[in-house]
Amino acid sequence: MQRRNTQQRRLIYDILSRTDSHPTADWIYERVKRYIPNISLGTVYRNLKVLKDEGLILEISDGKQSRYDARIDDHYHFRCDVCGNVYDIEYDIIEINPKVDQLRRSCGFKVSRFNIEFYGICRSCARGEESEKNN
Amino acid sequence: MQRRNTQQRRLIYDILSRTDSHPTADWIYERVKRYIPNISLGTVYRNLKVLKDEGLILEISDGKQSRYDARIDDHYHFRCDVCGNVYDIEYDIIEINPKVDQLRRSCGFKVSRFNIEFYGICRSCARGEESEKNN
DNA sequence: GTATATGCAAACAATTTGCACGCCT
DNA sequence: AGGCGTGCAAATTGTTTGCATATAC
């Protein structure tokens, strides 16, 4: 399929690229509206799907909602149990990879990728602050 | 809150305990109906939540849906990209845990738990079979 | 007896989709 | 010009909830 480079698609990707907050579709929608006031939420969802299909962004599942990430290099995520925000953890490739490779070879499945996610309470929530929700 | 040991709750837990297919609420509902035909889906959801709160089962998020697991000891999951089914991988605690612990201590967050998930194509799908969907 | 649990249906929230029109290329 | 993309609203999907009744204890 021949893809068009629309204003909407460009802006959605641009906004997602400029944040590290792993936002939801709705958060992105609110931001994009500042520039294209009559954009629809459906368009945001459609473009996020396109960008994902093209491998430009990642979709992170949050149980009920999806979050999106324009950072596609190897890294992990930490999710705060209190505010729900997602933070990046650098990919400790030297330490983990050989061990995971060992497991993936021996587990009996053809593993194409894996994902580690950490959970706990983020710094602001530990301090009792109200975190700005990125959703 | 004082909990009652109802027929419905007992059966839901029993059915979940006897499968390793990590089923969805709807799959469980269909099974329970064989014994309690007029049970409602809402009751299944309510009881799954109770069982989870009591720590008897785990909820596994599958993007849009939830899946449930009565196996609460440490183990990993493998999810097939084709059929969506979830399989158990034995927890190779000696190999992985120290490395993950190292990462969780050094990542800068207060990590209370973590989760590793593997993705790929399961045996039946690799053979081109139609897998029975557990959802 | 009484509070917890149930069945039912309506409500919800996140996401997807059908359709007529609009705008990249 | 042609077809992909859009806005809008309705439809779908998974899950939750209010309420009157039933049941475990």
Q: What is the 3-state secondary structure (H, E, C) of A16-35?
A: HHCCCCCCEHHHHHHHHHCC
Give residue-wise pLDDT tens across range A51-109: 999 999 999 998 889 999 999 998 999 999 888 899 999 877 667 777 777 777 777 78
B67 and B116 co-located in one domain: no
Are the Cβ atoms of B96 and A110 closer than 8 angstroms?
A: no
**How many structural domains are present in chain A?**
2
Measured CA to C1', the nucleotide nearest A40 is D7
Cα separation values, B6 from A77, B49, B84, Å: 40, 15, 32
Share of chain B above pLDDT 70, in %: 93
Same domain, B77 and B124: yes
Residues A18 and A47 in one domain: yes
Please give the pLDDT value at position A132. Answer: 67
Q: Do A87 and B109 touch (CB under 8 A)?
A: yes
Could you say which of A100, A108, A110 has the minimum Cβ distance to residue B121?
A: A110
The closest nt to A39, taking CA to C1', is: D7
Residue numbers of the domain that contains A30? 1-72
Q: What is the pLDDT of residue B68?
A: 98
Which nucleotide is closest to the Cα of A67 by its C1'?
C14
Residues lining strand C, beta carbon within 7 angstroms: A 4-7, 24-26, 41-42, 45-46, 49, 64-66; B 1-4, 6-9, 36, 38-43, 46-47, 50, 64
Residues of B in contact with A59 (CB under 8 A): 63
Does residue A53 approach strand D to less than 7 Å at its CB? no
Q: Which of B25-34, B53-62, B103-112 has the lowest mean pLDDT?
A: B103-112
Asked if residue A3 and residue A44 are part of one domain, the reply reads: yes
| Domain-terminating residue out of B26, B45, B72 | B72
Give the gap in angstroms from C-alpha A74 to the nearest C-alpha of chain B.
15
Amino acid at B50: V
Mention every residue, 6+ apart, whose C-beta is less than 8 A from residue B17: B70
Higher pLDDT, A134 or B101: B101
Lowest mean per-residue pLDDT among A100-104, B62-66, B90-94: B90-94
Give the nearest chain B residue to A122 (CA atoms): B109
CB contact at 8 A, A92 and B103: yes
Find the CATH number of the domain harbouring A41: 1.10.10.10
- Residues of chain B with Cβ-Cβ distance to A106 below 8 Å are 92
Calculate mean pLDDT across residues B30-34.
97
Q: How confident is the model at residue A40 (pLDDT cuts 50, 70, 90)?
A: very high
Residue B86: predicted pLDDT:
94
Is the same domain home to B14 and B42? yes
Mean per-residue pLDDT over chain A, rounded? 90
- The C-alpha atoms of residue B89 and residue A108 are separated, in whole angstroms, by 8
Closest to A107 (Cα-Cα) out of B96, B66, B83: B96
B84 and B32 in a single domain? The answer is: no
pLDDT of B128 higher than 80: no
